[in-house]
Structure formats: C-alpha cells, structure tokens
Amino acid sequence: MGSSTAALQWFFVLLATERHRHESHFQDEILRLANDLSIAIRETAQKNRELKKVNKTIELLARIDILTGLANRRMLEETLPREVARASRLEESLSLIFIDIDHFKLINDQFGHKVGDQVLAQMGSIFKAQLRSYALAARFGGDEFILLLPGTGREGAITIAQRIQAILGTSVIPEYPRLVAVSMGIASLSDRETGEELLARADAALYRAKGKGGDGFEIA
C-alpha cells in the first residue's frame, strides 16, 4: 500500500512537472508570436508611410511639367476655377497673363529640339521667379505659358509683364545666340466671369500682341 501511494505521488509530481513544462513552452510561444506580430505591425506601418510618400510623389508629378518644373495644364485647370470662385467670394482681384514664345518653331528648326528645350526651361525659371508663393506659373502646352495671379489687379499684372520683358532683354541661353522674346495677353477678372472666359480674353489679347509683331503685351 505504501509503495502504491509513493508511486501515485511520483506520478502526480511527473504530471505536474510535465504540465509546467508545457505551460512554460506555451508561454514562450505566445511571447514569440507577440514579438513577431509587433515587428510585423511596425514593418507594415513603415511600408504604409513609404507608400503614402510614393503616392504623394506620383500625384505631384501628375501635375508638374517635367521639362520646366512648372505646373502643367491639368493643375492649371484644377486651380483656375478655385481661384476665380475665391476671388469672386472675397471680392479680390485676380489676373492672368497668357504667354507665347515668339518664333519658337524657328528655334527648333534652326537649332534643334535640345536648344528648344533649353529655351523652354529657361522661360519657366524666369516666369516662376516673378511670382509670389501663392501665384501659379503653368506650362499650358508647347511654348505657351500661363501666369495666374491671385490678389493682383491690372496694374500689378502689367508690372509683372514689364519685368519679364526687361529680364528677357538681357538673358542669354547657352547654344542660342539670340535673345528670346515673348508675346503676352493680360486679363483681369470681371464680375460673374468664369475661368474659361478669363482665359479666353487673355488668349485674344495675346494674339493681338502677336499680330503687332510680338515682343510685347496687350490688355484684354
């Protein structure tokens, strides 16, 4: 009877030891899984942050003209109606300058598209440098550019156009032996006018300037 009791006690000791060993192993496994999960969460969060940065860059590039670094036509078309609505609501001035490089086709034909690209890039830098941080310089297409000028009336837009002409009169572009000239059309927002109407009036003024030989500006 005594030996049976001792054997039974020993069995329970072994059972408790084995259970403790299993419980300890289970706890270790839980800790390992928790650690793996924590690492996975941190890695996922980092990848999400990287993905957001990539998406933001892609979204930005979709609205930027790579050659000039200016806004592209898509960004202009998104921004123009917002600025018109804002100017109308706050009763503020808004002007637009439509710019076209004079004789740009001859530049490409005589000196090649590489030089033509240099001219476009240089024009983009000059136009952007004349604007305040809240204004927008955009490449509308080809050799056409738009300067959208919130908080700027007719006289302010004329001053900007004159500064551009003065800078172009002294700017030298590598591999191009001549000075580049532009024609400009200036329009300021009228009551109840849409962005498309403002743009159309600036475009009409631009073509009047080109019709007079270029290298100048006309006011809508």
| C-alpha pair distances (Å), 26 with each of 14, 15, 21, 34, 35 | 18, 16, 9, 12, 14
Name the pLDDT band for 9 (thresholds 50, 70, 90).
low
The Cα 176–Cα 165 span in angstroms is 18
Displacement of CA 199 from its chain's centroid (Å): 21
139-186 pLDDT per residue, tens:
999 999 999 999 999 999 999 999 999 999 998 888 888 899 999 999
Distance CA 26, CA 169 (A): 81
Q: With bands split at pLDDT 50, 70 and 90, how would you rate the model's confidence at 11?
A: low
Coil, strand or helix at 192: coil
Span 77-97, average pLDDT: 97
* Residue 5 pLDDT: 65
Q: Give this prediction's pTM.
A: 0.75
Architecture of the domain defined by 73-219: 2-Layer Sandwich (3.30)
Query: Looking at the predicted structure, is the pLDDT value of residue 130 above 60?
Result: yes
pLDDT at 4: 64
Alpha-helical runs (H) found in 62-72: none
More confident residue, 39 or 149: 149
**What is the sign, positive or negative, of the torsion defined by CA atoms of 198, 76, 131, 113?**
negative
Instruction: Please state, in angstroms and rounded to a whole number, the distance separating the CA atoms of residues 96 and 43.
Output: 48
Please write the tens of the pLDDT for every residue from 40-85. Answer: 777 777 766 665 654 554 455 578 999 999 999 999 999 999 999 9
What pLDDT is recorded for position 41?
A: 78
Query: What residue spans of 62-153 are helical by DSSP H?
Result: 73-90, 104-111, 113-129
DSSP H/E element including 23: helix 2-61
